[in-house]
Amino acid sequence: MELEFTTSSPEETKKIGRKFSGILSPGDVVFFLGELGGGKTTFISGTAEGLKIKENVSSPSFTLINTYDFDKDGINLKLVHCDLYRIDNLKDIPDIGIEEYLYDSKSIILIEWGGFIKEKVCKEFLEIKFEYFFEDAVSEENFETVNQKRRITFLASDVCWAKKIEMFKDNEAI
Ligand SMILES: Nc1ncnc2c1ncn2[C@@H]1O[C@H](COP(=O)(O)OP(=O)(O)OP(=O)(O)O)[C@@H](O)[C@H]1O
Ligand SMILES: [Mg+2]
């Protein structure tokens, strides 16, 4: 199942990220793929906000993994944010400690640029793709507006994620 959005500003992308936090549960794995500067980190900072995480989320480019503690229904959970832009092969993965979180039932793991490990993850995951979206011709006058458009696509490849995406789509309250 696929679900598509177009946003016209970083704030709009953040808002979708915030709403997305409403369907996340411990153990979830989400891959954020797509173009450089597509809005992945912006989206994730909205998700962190939605989970009531107070710290500012920025891209863990140097550390590769950032973790944030939060409480849901009285249970202490972790949001794990990875940026694997600099990693391009599987053999480096155990070194950065990602496996410790992938199968941890108290972590929600959001991975930027991790396409190459998708096939190795032995559980279902959601993919979210970020693209620049040039609907109109770009001129000097409208550059800023046009340049702020993004196409965000949720790609659910299993029944569980498809159901969660349906919930996301239908529930205005989330
Ligand atoms: N509609 C939009 N949604 C998200 N970001 C937008 C949008 N319009 C403009 N931007 C800008 O684009 C940039 C997106 O940066 P961000 O770090 O979120 O992308 P990214 O996909 O994580 O990048 P990277 O590929 O480097 O990890 C920010 O500077 C943001 O302000
Ligand atoms: Mg990023």
pLDDT, one tens digit for every residue, the chain (174 residues): 999 999 999 999 999 999 999 999 999 999 999 999 999 999 999 999 999 999 999 887 777 899 999 999 899 999 999 998 878 777 777 777 888 898 899 999 999 998 888 887 888 999 999 999 988 788 888 888 878 999 999 999 899 999 999 999 987 655
pLDDT of residue 173: 58
Amino acid (1-letter code) at residue 134: F
- pTM here is 0.94
pLDDT of residue 85: 87
pLDDT of residue 119: 80
Alpha carbon distance 146, 127 (integer Å): 25
Listed residues: CB within 5 A of ion ligand 2: 40-41, 59, 112
pLDDT of residue 115: 85
Residue with CA closest to ligand 1 atom 16: 39
Give the list of residues 6+ apart from residue 70 with CB closer than 8 angstroms, or none: 51, 52, 53, 76, 77, 78, 79
Give the list of residues 6+ apart from residue 141 with CB closer than 8 angstroms, or none: none
Q: Is the CB of 150 under 6 A from ligand 1?
A: yes
Q: To 10 degrees, the CA torsion angle through 102, 103, 105, 106?
A: -30
Q: Which ligand is nearest to the CA of 59?
A: 2
Alpha carbon distance 96, 83 (integer Å): 11
Q: Which ligand is nearest to the CA of 60?
A: 2
User: Rounded to 5, what percent of the chain is helix, strand, coil?
Assistant: 35, 30, 35
Pocket test for ligand 1, best of 14, 16, 36, 42 (most atoms within 8 A of CB): 42
pLDDT of residue 91: 74
In Å, the largest CA–CA distance within the chain is 52
Domains recognised in the chain with CATH numbers: 2-170 (3.40.50.300)
pLDDT of residue 62: 74
